[in-house]
Homo-oligomer: A and B are copies of this chain.
Amino acid sequence: MEKLDQIFFYSLEKAIKSYRQFAQRTMMKQGFDLTIDQWLVLKNIIDHPEWAQNEIAEAAFKDFASVTRIIELLVKKGYLTREIHPEDRRRFRLEPTPKVFGVLKAVEPITKSNRETALNGVSEEEAKLVQQCLTKIIENCNK
């Protein structure tokens, strides 16, 4: 299995990189000034408006420090406003600006189509199996 193991993790690395590059290219081509990481963080903030940054980070598989910096950029780009949280002054209250919703809505079909393209030729069964496998790997690496 040794050789396969090697190929396996190489493929894993290459697959996610290929997908990220592909998705980023598509985003840019459509004229959005968001990286897919910024989009991911933004989406998590919208979906969970009450979460603290560290919870956002966890949901987006990101380091706290990265999230701090990504949020900085999102504020600078005018997608978010940030003020101190009224109930816990260690935290911040992040508010999406009005333009966010239009952008997210516009990005939605692109993301959907990207995923479909990337999974072309992979059946739902297979996808489920792969997904289970990945979950197992995640567990194995985190204990």
Interface residues in chain A, defined as those with a beta carbon under 8 Å from any beta carbon in chain B: 1-2, 4-19, 21-22, 61, 112, 115-122, 124, 126-131, 133-138, 140-142
Contacts and interface: CB of A to CB of B under 8 A. Distances in A.
B130 A118 contact: no
4 A-B pairs with the lowest CB-CB distances in the bound complex, closest first: A22-B141, A18-B141, A11-B134, A5-B115
B136 A122 contact: yes
Nearest to A5: B115
Contacts of A133: 122, 126-127, 130
Given A2-B112, A21-B141, A117-B140, A16 B8 contact: no
Main secondary structure of the interface of A (DSSP, over half): helix
Number of copies: 2
Contacts of A134: 11-12, 14-15, 130
A4 B135 CA distance: 13
Given A13-B16, A18-B142, A118 B131 contact: no
Given A5-B115, A13-B61, A116-B5, A18 B137 contact: yes
B140 A119 contact: yes
A138 B61 contact: no
A63 to B, nearest CB: 10
A8 B131 contact: yes
A129 B129 contact: yes
A77 to B, nearest CB: 23
